[in-house]
Amino acid sequence: MQNDLDSNNNVIVFDAVSKVYQPGSEIALHDVSFAVREGEFVCLIGPSGCGKTTALKIIAGIEKESSGVVVRPEKISMVFQSGALLPWLTALQNVALGLRINHVPEHIVQKESLKHLEMVKLHDLVNKYPRELSGGQRQRVGIARALAMNPSVLLLDEPFSALDPKTTEELHQDLITIWKETKKTIVMVSHLIEEAVSLGDRVVLMNNFSIKKIFSIALSRPRRENEVEFSREVSQIRRSFFS
Amino acid sequence: MATKKHIYHHGRGIGFSYPLSLQQRIYSMFIAPLAILIILLLLLRVLAIVPSLSFHALPLSYLWKALGATFVRLVVAYFFALFVSIPLALLITKSTFAEHLLLPVFDIIQSIPVLAFFPLIILFFIHYHFLNGAAIFIIFLSMLWNIVFSIVGGLKVIPNDIKWVAHVFNIRGFAFVREVLIPAVVPYIITGSLLAWAQGWNIIIVAEVLHTYIPGGSADQDLFGIGSVLVNAIARGEHSMFVAAIVVMVLGIAFLNLFVWQKLLHYAERFRFE
C-alpha cells in the first residue's frame, strides 16, 4: 500500500485519513489510505453510511479531514446524486455558471458550455430549464457542468442511482466515451457492484468507515454483464462485500 | 421561542398557488371579489349599519386618488422593508451563533404589536414635520417581519447539494449571495411580500388617521388616503362614502392580487427546488 501512495503518478492520495464531524460524535471515516493514479477510473462502493461519500467530499474539499494527509489537485469538479442544477437557470446557463463566476471571458464561456453540452448529447436542449428535462438529461447537464471547468479529477456521487436501467446503461456508455476522450481521472461513488465493475479500473470496497479491500478490474472494454469474466469479478467483490 | 408566523414560513408547502385553469382564473378575477363585495353590502344592510345608500353624487375620482396615495405609501414602505429584510435574513442564517443570538430577539420584537410604537413614531416624525414618514414607518414595521421570517425559512431549505455545488465551483462571498442565495429565496420573498402587503392594508386604516394619536389632534392632520377616507366617512356618518371607499379598496386589492401577486407567484415556481 505504501508503494502505491508514494507513486509519482498519483493525483489523489489518502494517507491514514480519518474524519469525525463533531468532537465526541461518531466516526465518519477511519484510517483510510488509498491513491488514485492519473487517468484512472476508480469506484468507491460499500453499504449505505460506510463513509464513501464522506471520502468523496474530502477529495472535493467540501469536508476537511480530521486527521491524516490528503493530496489532491486544485482543479476538481463534481457531479451530484440529485444533479444539483439551479432551477432558475437553463441547461446552458447551468453549465456556464462555474466558468462565468471564475472570470472566464464570455465568448469562451459560451463556446465551452456548448461544446460540453454537445459532448453529453444535449445540444438540442440548451435552453431548457431543469424542470423541463428528464432525470437522465439533468445528470448529463451535471456532467457537462463539471467537465466545462476542465478539471483534472472528476468526482461522481452516485450519479445514476435515481435513474431507470435503460438511461443508466446509456449514461454508463457515454461516461466511458467521455473518459476515454478527455483522459480525466474519475472517482465515482456507487452502491452497485455491477456498476463499479462495469466502469472502474479499480474498485475500492469500503465497510465500517474504512477500506475493506481494493480490487483491480482487468477486464477489457466494453464490458458486458452477461460475460463470464464480468460475473466472476462481481461474485468476488460480492463475497468480500457480505463477508 | 418560535411564533406561529415563524413556524409557518419554515415549511416548504406554503399555501399560495397561481390559478392555472380558466375556471380558477374566472373565479379569482371576477367571482371572488364580487362575492366579497356582495356579502359585505348585504351584511351592512342586514345589520342595519348602513340605513340608506346613494352613490350617484359620490366623488369617485377622489376615492381613486385616495387609493393611489395609500398605494404609494405602501410601495415605499414595502421597498424599505424588502431592502432591510434580505440582509437581515442573511445575517440571521450566516452562522448558528448569529441565529441563536438574533432569532429570539427578532421573534420577540415581531410579537409586539407594531401599533404600540405608533404614538412614539408620530411624535418623532412631528418633530421633523414629516407625518407621511410616520405612516410609512409603521407600515414598514408591520411588513418587515413577514418578509424576514419567510426569507429565513427559504434560506434554511436550500438543499445541501446546491451549497456543495457552489463550493466546488468556487462560488463564494457576494457571488454566492447573488447567484445562489437570492434566487433560491425568490419564492419565499414573494410569499412573504404577499403576507406583508396584507398586513400593510390592515395597518393603513390606522396609519393614515394620525389625529387619534396626536394630543388635541384634528382630522386635518390625517394623511390623505383610502384608510383615512374610510375612518372619517364613518365618523361623519357618510355611509355611502364609507361603502364606496370599501368597494374601491377591495377592487384595488383584487387588481393587485390578479395582476401582480398571482403573476409573481407563478413566476416564482421556476426558482423552486424539486
Q: Where are the domains of chain A?
A: 85-150
Please name the amino acid found at residue B36.
I
Q: How many percent of chain B have pLDDT more than 90?
A: 48
A200-205: long-range contacts, CB 8 A cutoff, minimum separation 24:
A200/A41, A200/A42, A200/A43, A201/A40, A201/A41, A201/A42, A202/A40, A202/A41, A202/A42, A202/A43, A203/A42, A203/A43, A203/A45, A203/A237, A204/A34, A204/A42, A204/A43, A204/A44, A204/A45, A205/A45, A205/A46, A205/A237, A205/A240, A205/A241
Neighbours of A231 (CB within 10 A): 14
- Nearest to A109, CA basis, from A145, A138, A156: A145
pLDDT value of position B41? 78
d(CA B203, CA B139): 6
- Nearest to A138, CA basis, from B157, B273, B166: B273
Tell if the CB–CB gap between A97 and B186 is shorter than 8 Å: no
Q: Which of B165, B171, B273 is the mutation pick for testing A, counting most A CBs within 10 A?
A: B165
The answer to whether B170 faces chain A, any CB pair under 8 Å, is yes
Chain B nearest-CA distance from A175, in A, is 20
Question: For residue A41, what is the enclosing H or E element?
Answer: strand A41-45
Q: Is the pLDDT of residue B13 over 60?
A: no
Q: Which of A75, A90, A101 is the mutation pick for testing B, counting most B CBs within 10 A?
A: A101
B53-112 residues touching A, CB cutoff 8 A: none
Q: What is the pLDDT of residues B147-195, one digit of tens each?
A: 999 999 999 999 999 999 999 999 999 999 999 999 999 999 999 999 9
Residue B217, C-alpha cell as written in the block:
389632534
Q: Please tell me chain A's helix, strand, coil percentages from 3-state DSSP, rounded to the nearest 5.
A: 40, 25, 35
B188-207 residues touching A, CB cutoff 8 A: none
Q: Which residue has the higher pLDDT, B8 or B117?
A: B117
Please name the amino acid found at residue A73.
P
Residue B165: partners with Cβ closer than 8 Å, 6 or more residues away = A78, A80, A84, A86, B171
Q: Is the pLDDT of residue B69 over 60?
A: yes
Q: For residue B186, which residues of chain A lie inside 8 Å, CB to CB?
A: 88
Tell if the CB–CB gap between B271 and A87 is shorter than 8 Å: yes
Averaged pLDDT score across all residues of chain B: 85
Q: Is the pLDDT of residue B89 over 70?
A: yes
Mean pLDDT for each 10-residue chunk of chain A (243 residues)? 69 95 87 95 94 95 95 94 93 96 93 95 94 94 95 95 91 94 95 95 95 95 91 95 86
Tell if the CB–CB gap between A87 and B272 is shorter than 8 Å: yes
Q: How many percent of chain B have pLDDT more than 70?
A: 90
Place of cell 463539471: A146
Q: How many angstroms separate the Cα of A76 from the Cα of each of A240, B44, B170?
A: 31, 70, 10
| Measured torsion, CA atoms of residues A39, A153, A187, A89, in degrees rounded to the nearest 10 | -130
Q: For residue A77, which residues of chain B lie inside 8 Å, CB to CB?
A: 168-169
Tell if the CB–CB gap between A88 and B273 is shorter than 8 Å: no
**How many Cβ pairs within 8 Å bridge chains A and B?**
59
pLDDT value of position B32? 82
Given B161, B175, B183, which is nearest A101 (Cβ)?
Answer: B175
Bond prior to B19 in cis (omega within 30° of 0): no
d(CA A49, CA B235): 70
Q: Is the pLDDT of residue B72 over 90?
A: yes
CB A43 within 8 Å of CB A199: yes
CB B184 within 8 Å of CB B158: yes
pLDDT value of position B7? 35
Q: What is the DSSP letter of A14?
A: E
Neighbours of A232 (CB within 10 A): 12
d(CA B193, CA B187): 10
Nearest residue in chain A measured CA to CA from B160: A84
The answer to whether B165 faces chain A, any CB pair under 8 Å, is yes
pLDDT value of position A145? 96
pLDDT value of position A4? 66
Q: Is the pLDDT of residue B102 over 90?
A: no
- What are the boundaries of each domain within chain B? 61-271
Q: How many angstroms separate the Cα of B129 from the Cα of each of A160, B71, B123, B124, B125?
A: 66, 21, 10, 9, 6
CB B225 within 8 Å of CB B69: yes
pLDDT value of position B2? 38
Q: Where residue B9 falls among pLDDT bands split at 50, 70, 90?
A: very low
pLDDT value of position B197? 96
Q: Which residue has the higher pLDDT, A88 or B240?
A: A88
Q: Is the CATH code 3.90.650.10 the one for domain B61-271?
A: no
Residue B24, C-alpha cell as written in the block:
380558477
pLDDT value of position B1? 38
pLDDT value of position A14? 95
d(CA A143, CA A51): 23
Please name the amino acid found at residue A196.
A
Tell if the CB–CB gap between A97 and B179 is shorter than 8 Å: yes
C-alpha count within 13 angstroms, C-beta hemisphere, residue B100 = 3
pLDDT value of position B49? 67
Given A57, A80, A101, which is nearest B170 (Cβ)?
Answer: A101
Nearest residue in chain A measured CA to CA from B164: A62
pLDDT value of position B4? 38
Given A76, A88, A130, which is nearest B168 (Cβ)?
Answer: A76
Q: For residue A78, which residues of chain B lie inside 8 Å, CB to CB?
A: 164-165, 168
Given A80, A129, A131, which is nearest B164 (Cβ)?
Answer: A80
